[in-house]
Amino acid sequence: MKVLVIGGVAAGTKAAAKLKREDRGLDVALITKDQDISYAGCGLPYYVGGMIESRDELIVNTPEKYAALTGVRVLTGREAVELDSGKKLVTAKNLITGETEAYSYDRLVIATGASSAVPPIEGVGLKGVFKMRTPDDAIRIRDYVEAERVKKAVVIGGGFIGLEVAENLLAQGVDVTVMDFASQIMPNVLDPEMADYAQRHLRKQGVRVLTGTKAEKLVGDARVTAVKTASATLPAELVVLSAGIRPNTAFLASSGIEMEKGAIVVDSQLKTNLPGVYAAGDCALVTNRITGRRQWSPMGSSANLEGRTLAQVLAGKEKTYPGVLGTGVVKLPGLNCGRTGLTEAQAKEAGYDVVTVLAVTDDKAHYYPDAAFFATKLIADRKTHKLLGMQVFGPGAVDKMVDIAVMAINMGAVLEDFENADFAYAPPFSTAIHPFVQAVYILLNKINGDLVSMTPAEYAAGAADGYRVIDVAPAPSIRGATFVDLASVNGEIPGIGRDEKLLLVCVRGKRGYFLQNRMKYYGYKNTVVLEGATSFNDVKVKNAQAAVPPAEVTRVKGLGFLFDKRTQDRFNGRVITRNGKITAEESRAIAQAAELYGSGEIAMTSRLTVEIQGVPFDNIEPLREFLAQNGLETGGTGSKVRPVVSCKGTTCQYGLIDTFALSEEIHERFYHGYHDVKLPHKFKIAVGGCPNNCVKPDLNDLGIIGQRIPQVDLEKCRGCKVCQVENTCPIKVAKVRDGKVVIDDSICNHCGRCVGKCPFKAVEAHQDGYRVYIGGRWGKKVAQGKYLDKVFTTKEEVLNVVEKAILLFREQGNTGERFADTVARLGFENVQEQLLSNQLLERKQENLSAQKHMKGGATC
């Protein structure tokens, strides 16, 4: 039997290889458009981020190696262009010779996969705009990021691949915006409240997320410079198109094969409506394992499974493909996300009587180092207790939670099947009662009526309106809520009526359940526990008049909002600018934000950020969302690298360097790039264009000053009685001695004013550079920074010194002390020696990953 396989990535190579193992005597040939076969498509984002170092690591098999291992004939560079199922003939174009070739078959496997869908946007052909589907795409993106020193990128598409690309660009120090036309990220993958949690997390990690936003145009002449939306123009030196994929089935248009939206319809044996023709992988439309309905699930995992099953079918075995669950897992910055089965919406659409729970549990023994959490949503049928789906977040091994759910759904398990399940336990791996079992217990309590709760989705939809919020945390944490000490409840609670509608909110949900249990015993009839509590939900008490709790003041300070101590709940929100420079469009957005969410007043800070005044606590998140939609962000507070300030540089008659370009590069590389790096105290950087020191670089933790070092040609000096060089020198360092002009380099501030002033060109040559000051400080205590002995001649040298200074401060600074204190304690010569060597950079990863438990010392 002659079997022809079209497509050489996952399903095609798996089917062909397995088929030859089933029957070595079969004639199996594989044709593919690409020169590569069997590449790791799911690993492409991690090549961009540098986690995978070389292209070779992405290639599972070369055509030659694969052919030798399997016995399959492999023909690359062949693009199928037509199928004649009556003649059992596939026509293909040889992409090397340009000739047309014909391939006959007894059985045909179509595994052509899918390609990136390019949205119809003006400017997609600009340089710097990429797709993400093949190894070459990933290589081009990483090369472009490195060669062009990309600092700002926009990823169009908020699915798995788009979010993975965003994470890996962030790891490369790129400021990333993700936009999606849908109302949420990962639509049809996560339920809305789960997607909202992920979006909030991404924003905290420095990834701007814009949903319900359409890219209208990519702006630029030869290369992309921005993405224009209906509400803003977002600067972008790189754009990655990840707005979905489409099956590669255009060549089948006249073949008579049955398709839906371009995907090939197959039965349980992956057979199409055409005789002898089968399909598998991203081009095939299979079924959902739970509902039996048709479902397109383009995943590398299911493609491999389909290919293997199809090979067994072709070999004559009684095998069927049961369908997909849409299982997936994605790594986000600092958070992993997994899912399988039906979403809540899909389960309801399928006719189930749906019940869900959101359970936040420990992911391992709470006392074990690096213990974190799982936020698990279980979806089940209320009548049968059958598990239908699950979604989970956590910094750790969410895949183990997903895999348990997959096996349960595959085997038709009901919730009771998990009771007393003897899963593996040891403190480094799990909790004594497995986190999945804990979530099941909570859902069973809800079904049985032992727990009366409100889901995050219900809370977000306003179901808590009319409820009095009871704060059950160990200490008061919800502004305007009534705090109840759980341990002290042994009867009626003073001031709380037994018939009141009460929403019990703690940190994760457990203490709320414990309080509800007690309150039921003491006659309280209308208590409801908020699932996920404050760790998952953004809990607000409407019209709260109480003061904002200290913990919340600290939290929002980290977002750039400083408490106005004259009020109970007003804050001044710092909007980050590029060294004080904003566009007219951004200025209008800030003014509108001030009117909508603040007092309508705007102030400038000494660090050239813009403060929106008088923002009520409850308006902080809406304000941040509004600013994000307009490409703006808040921040610039806390024990971190602060926004950079500089003078006007080359627009000043004394300017020696492009201060704005340098300060913006420092801002992107160290303010954004070191966004999550906590330091002993704030770290301020200033850039001055000349030694006039208008922005006081020597009074910052680190200052950079442009230099122009005059070089005297004594042979041309005529020792004039009236020396123009001497007259020009503003600090009177240039002197004529013994008939020659002399400039004392140890005193000269290198302002360059003397260059070109000698009519005989004795001071014509010069060396441009940068002087770096360290250990300056302005405020309660003043310290004059000292400059390093070396005058740096390249920008890269300066940027390396900046990074080494930050790393030294993190590694050797004590919590609460300013960099000036660190320099004084260690000694200037010691610090200078470290900054002029490369040992700090060699220890960079160890330094940044160290668990220092710094509290920081910045109060504003």
Q: Which residues are catalytic?
A: 42
**Type and span of the H or E element at 845:** helix 844-849
Rounded Cα–Cα distance for residues 353 and 450 (Å): 19
Burial state string for 803-828 with b = 16 or more CB within 10 A and e = fewer than 16: bbbbbbbbbbbeeebbbbbbbeeeee
Residue 316's Cβ-count burial label (10 Å; 0-12, 13-18, 19+) is exposed
Rounded Cα–Cα distance for residues 646 and 465 (Å): 49
Rounded Cα–Cα distance for residues 803 and 814 (Å): 18
Dig out the tokens for 20 from the structure.
Answer: 């030859």
- Residue 262 has, within 13 A of its CA and on its CB side, a CA count of 15
The DSSP letter of residue 668 is I
Quickly list DSSP for 206-249: T-EEEES----EEEESSBEEEEE-SS-EEE-SEEEE-S-EEES-
Residue pair 11/115 in contact (Cβ under 8 Å)? The answer is: no
Nearest to 283, CA basis, from 247, 330, 311: 247
Mind spelling out the 3-state secondary structure of 287-354? EECCCCCEECCCCHHHHHHHHHHHHHHHCCCCCCCCCECCCEEEEECCEEEEEEECCHHHHHHCCCCE
437 three-class SS: helix
Strand 284-287 with 765-774, pairing: unpaired
C-alpha distance from residue 110 to each of 82, 236, 271, 272, 282 (Å) = 12, 39, 10, 10, 10
The neighbour count for residue 102, using CB atoms within 10 Å, is 11
Q: Rg (Cα) of the chain, in Å, rounded?
A: 32
Rounded Cα–Cα distance for residues 400 and 81 (Å): 43
Residue pair 547/569 in contact (Cβ under 8 Å)? The answer is: yes
Residue pair 707/750 in contact (Cβ under 8 Å)? The answer is: yes
Quickly list DSSP for 521-551: HTT---EEEETTHHHHS----TT--SPPPHH
Rounded Cα–Cα distance for residues 701 and 49 (Å): 31
434 three-class SS: coil
